[in-house]
Amino acid sequence: MASKKRGGKAIVVGGSIAGLSCAHALIAAGWEPTVIERSGVPPSRSPTGAGLGLDPQSREIISRWISNPDLLHRSTFPLSVDLNRATNSEEKISRTLTRDESLGFRAAHWADLHAILYKSLPPDLVLWGYQFVSFQVSEDKSKVVAKAKVVQTDELVEIIGDLLVAADGCLSSIRQQLLPKFKLRYSGYLAWRGVLDFSGKEDSDIIVGIRRAYPELGDCLYFDLANKTHCVLYELKNKRLNWIWYINGPEPEMKGTSVTMRVSDDMVKKMHEEAEKVWVPELARVMKETMEPFINVIYDSEPLPQLFWDYVVLVGDAAHPTTPHGLRSTNMSIVDAEILGHCLEKWGLENLHIALKDFQDLRLPVVSDQVLHARKLGRLKQGLLLNDQKTFFNPLMSTSDECLQLQQRTMPYFQGAPTAS
């Protein structure tokens, strides 16, 4: 019987879903992770109120990490149906373009999934209120040293490990140190997002109306396509409706270190007015009744040439910023973590470079294909030209074959990414 490989100590930068997933996978591999996160406390609710879709592979992975696998099922809603519809904005009617009844996803709220992952970790593993500053390799070339600032005191501390895992999102400061010339690519559109909490209002006119217009809510991922715009709608657990409306336009001027924009009352009012022009009345009303809608500016990037450098590895959106149309971001992060853990367990600390090379060989082709395909889906649904076409997709004049391109199952590795070389 082969001897168990020696684990090491890993510094994981970022306490969102990617970082917590890495912590779980590292523990399973026999490593000791320390997660550093700029936020001062665990989130009690999502600051951006985002919904997400989990595919079967990700759910199976998470179920092995957590102590009560049934909790994940009970905290999510099924998304069995992938339904794309064309909306005629003048007549305010919709017709089906393509329907897939075997999607197999489940809908989760960001805060719910984060809580499930966090509460299944050992206490004190996440250092809340620690802002990553920089990293360097130790003088003897044996360790990586991360510097972090304690937010409350401004104290600068050093954390020493055998591996630095960059799970710090699409604006990753670690990636910026490794690839100083790297730039995100603006997609050509932004997204209004919101979650309508209708608890206690299940029999209200707005909920009765939206269920009439969208009768499969609770089991369906709706994509409504109008002229050069589209909207996503699905139901979340605990009486919530998640919607995302994509709008073409020039890249806005961003301030700070977030892809989420602050919005004014005037911006929200104009969004409501435009929604009434574009969408069926029931959907426009859901948008109007949603508290605190916000804007995400949509970016992705060209696939990176590599995912690791010596003692540093990129995972999640730090490794592959992607547009959201293939429901890939969270799922890619979870699979990244799982495969990183497998490779580290297989090769051990003594073969760290081989382990990271194995991880890169497994993940880079997959995530590169998925990022580019998600970009294609977004451009199709937004009526933007693709590189190899001279005409844009028109949902009101599309053929059946053209509509099949809209389905989620056209995503490379839709049935699951390879986990072993």
- C-alpha distance from residue 257 to each of 169, 170, 185, 325, 377 (Å): 11, 10, 16, 23, 27
Written as one letter, the residue type at 40 is G
Q: Which residue is associated with the tokens 């759910």?
A: 59
Indicate the pTM of the whole model: 0.95
Q: What is the SS3 assignment for 241?
A: strand
Cβ distance 44 to 67 under 8 Å? no
What mean pLDDT comes out for the span 90-105? Answer: 96
Q: Between helices 17-28 and 56-65, what is the axis angle to 10°?
A: 60
**How are the residues of the chain apportioned to helix, strand and coil, as percentages rounded to the nearest 5?**
35, 30, 40
What mean pLDDT comes out for the span 193-216? Answer: 96
- The band of 91, judged by pLDDT with boundaries at 50, 70 and 90, is very high
Q: Which residue is associated with the tokens 């294909």?
A: 369
Structure tokens at 356: 């990271």
What DSSP letter does each residue of 253-301 carry, written as one string? PP-SS-SEEP--HHHHHHHHHHHHHHS-HHHHHHHHH-SS-EEEEEEE-
Cβ distance 81 to 219 under 8 Å? yes
Q: Could you give the domains of the chain?
A: 9-70+112-183+302-390 (3.50.50.60), 80-105+187-300 (3.30.9.60)
Helix (H) or strand (E) holding 247: strand 240-248
Beta-carbon contacts of residue 333 (< 8 Å; ≥ 6 apart): 17, 18, 21, 167, 315, 316, 317
Beta-carbon contacts of residue 344 (< 8 Å; ≥ 6 apart): 7, 8, 26, 29, 31, 163, 352, 355
- The band of 78, judged by pLDDT with boundaries at 50, 70 and 90, is very high
CA–CA distance, 367 with 332 (Å, rounded to integer) = 7
- pLDDT > 90: percent of the chain: 88
CA–CA distance, 377 with 277 (Å, rounded to integer) = 24
Query: Quick one: pLDDT at residue 1?
Result: 38
Cβ distance 165 to 11 under 8 Å? yes
**Residue 421: how many other CB atoms lie within 10 Å:** 12
Query: Quick one: pLDDT at residue 47?
Result: 46
Cβ distance 65 to 24 under 8 Å? yes
Query: Quick one: pLDDT at residue 214?
Result: 98
Question: In angstroms, how far is CA 198 from the centroid of its own chain?
Answer: 24
Cβ distance 234 to 220 under 8 Å? yes
Q: Is residue 391's pLDDT more than 90?
A: no
Q: Is residue 2's pLDDT more than 90?
A: no
Angle at 221 between CA 101 and CA 397, to 5 degrees: 85
Cβ distance 132 to 35 under 8 Å? no
Query: Quick one: pLDDT at residue 25?
Result: 98
What mean pLDDT comes out for the span 143-149? Answer: 96
Q: What is the SS3 assignment for 27?
A: helix
Which sign, positive or negative, has the C-alpha torsion 13, 16, 20, 25?
A: negative
What mean pLDDT comes out for the span 265-294? Answer: 97
DSSP label at residue 81: E
Pairing of strands 9-13, 163-166: parallel
What mean pLDDT comes out for the span 140-164? Answer: 95
What mean pLDDT comes out for the span 109-115? Answer: 94
